Amino acid sequence: MSPKAFQKMRVVGIEDGSFIKGVNEKALLAAVLFKGLKIEDVTFKWITVDGFDATEKAAEILKQWDFQAVMLAGVSFAGFNVIDPLALSDMFQKPIVIVARTKPDNRAVKSALIRHFKDWARRWEVFAKLGPIYEVKVLEGEAPLYFE
């Protein structure tokens, strides 16, 4: 991609805010719209801790903007409130990239879901549909990033 094309590219980054389990019922879902490396807009929605409304809230945010791609900071937000990246991709016909600083451990995720949620299968379905995990070394001497 040429530098000029990158400067025009509009990408949305989505991450959750902090919360205290057992104290907070809601957490922020934050979204930032970038054009190149410049921030164009920022917005927030409340999502339920360990709920199932994060995909819906992410879609509400994305409907506001014209963008070329979305970067999610994982799949689980506010505990195990999952965003379904394939559902978002189908809705908006745009690529959804999942970025993580640590390699996802899907066995541990599934085990935690089974232990803590009656609807674990519904949540696990989102993880099970994901593609392979790619490891990328961005800078020599630093930990890699992981993409799905």
Report whether 77 contacts 29 (CB < 8 A): yes
**Neighbour tally for 66: CB within 10 Å:** 7
Domain count, the chain: 1
pLDDT tens for 3-57 read 777 788 999 999 999 999 889 999 999 999 999 999 999 999 999 999 999 999 9
- The CA distance from 115 to 121, in Å, is 11
Residues 59-107: tens digit of each pLDDT: 999 999 999 999 999 999 999 999 999 999 999 999 999 999 999 999 9
Report the amino acid identity of residue 94.
Answer: K
Contact status, residue 53 vs residue 47, Cβ threshold 8 Å? yes
Handedness of CA 116, 122, 124, 127 (dihedral sign): negative
Q: Residue 137: which CATH number? A: 3.30.2170.10
Per the structure block, which two tokens stand in for 65? Answer: 């903007």
Q: What's the whole-number mean pLDDT along residues 110-137? A: 96
Is 80 exceeded by the pLDDT of residue 109?
yes
d(CA 148, CA 137): 15
Judge whether residue 1 has pLDDT over 70.
Answer: no
Rounded distance, CA 119 to CA 100, Å? 25
Largest CA distance in the chain: 49
What range defines the domain where residue 36 resides?
3-147
